[in-house]
Chains A and B, each alone.
Chain A
Amino acid sequence: MNISPEEAARALGEIEASRAAMRATIRGFRGHYYLWLWGGIWVAMALRAEFHALPGLRMNHWLIYPGIATTFLILLYQGTKIRSPVNKRFLGVLAAIVVFSFVWPLVLGHSANAKSGFAYGVLVPMFCYIVAGIWFGCYLLWIGLLISALILASLFFFPALFWWSVVLCGGTLIGTGFYVRYFWR
């Protein structure tokens, strides 16, 4: 098959136009809604814990359940346009992590300390982020590592854990959401 340079240039132009249009479209599907949602929930949870200590921590499920429901709604809505097929093995791994991480503290008895309880509640989902990041080769790995390091540093070295979590950990999720939405190419 032989074509002229003019035709080749035109074809490359069409490729670039199609790529640019798709790039603009898939910017809406990069996971930033989830990062904003859970970053916001995290900020709210940390503030509740700061002002209400353990009672605030125990009431946090009233923030988590709507968060999970909203996550599924976003997933369903976006899945009608661009989707990733469900990976049952990966979901099994995540379910095992979540179940074990909640069952063992109940069986073995857990700390009544609000700060370590809060930190544990953050480290479990961050562990899920790390697993997801390794599994799919995506940026979640780095968010999981960064926030785990920040939360551990704040637990052991800074007394104002909850404020630190609002600014740096919740802020990391929200900031990453803005980055992947507007700046990531």
Chain B
Amino acid sequence: MDELDATIHQPVRLQIMAALCQLNTLRQVDFTFLKTKLNLTDGNLGAHLLTLEEKGYIEVEKTFVARRPKTFVSATAAGRRAFDAHAAALRAILKPKTS
């Protein structure tokens, strides 16, 4: 049975993971774009991304586009598995128990 993941369950991280897992595995999303979509501040999003990165749930790639620094974020395979398991555990809580 799937178990709840305390790292993902935090509301902002849950939003981040749900958004990132919606993209296909090849795609990365820009930090600023994600911040705007989730209505977060730089510091708030950065802190939560760091937590998720330390757990190996996301990958952060820093690069330059037209000489400007850009940060791109994507969910890892482990992150996708953990998120799916967490969502399954949430659904299991809502299912009526059969005896």
Contact = CB atoms under 8 A, between A and B. Distances in A.
Interface of A: 1-3, 5, 8-9, 11-12, 14-16, 18-19, 21-23, 25-26, 29, 79-85, 136
Q: What is the predominant secondary structure among interface residues of chain B facing chain A?
A: helix
A91 B37 CA distance: 31
Contacts of B1: none
Contacts of B38: 18
B28 A83 contact: yes
A38 B89 CA distance: 45
B26 A136 contact: yes
B65 A80 contact: yes
A118 B29 CA distance: 39
Interface in B15-54: 15, 18-19, 21-23, 26-30, 33, 37-38
A8 B19 contact: no
B66 to A, nearest CB: 8
Given A11-B14, A15-B87, A84-B26, A3 B65 contact: no
A15 B14 contact: yes
A38 to B, nearest CB: 21
B14 A22 contact: no
Contacts of B61: 85
Contact of B18 (A2, A14, A84, A85): A14
The 10 closest A-B pairs by CB, nearest first: A18-B18, A8-B93, A22-B22, A22-B19, A81-B33, A15-B18, A18-B15, A1-B4, A8-B90, A84-B26
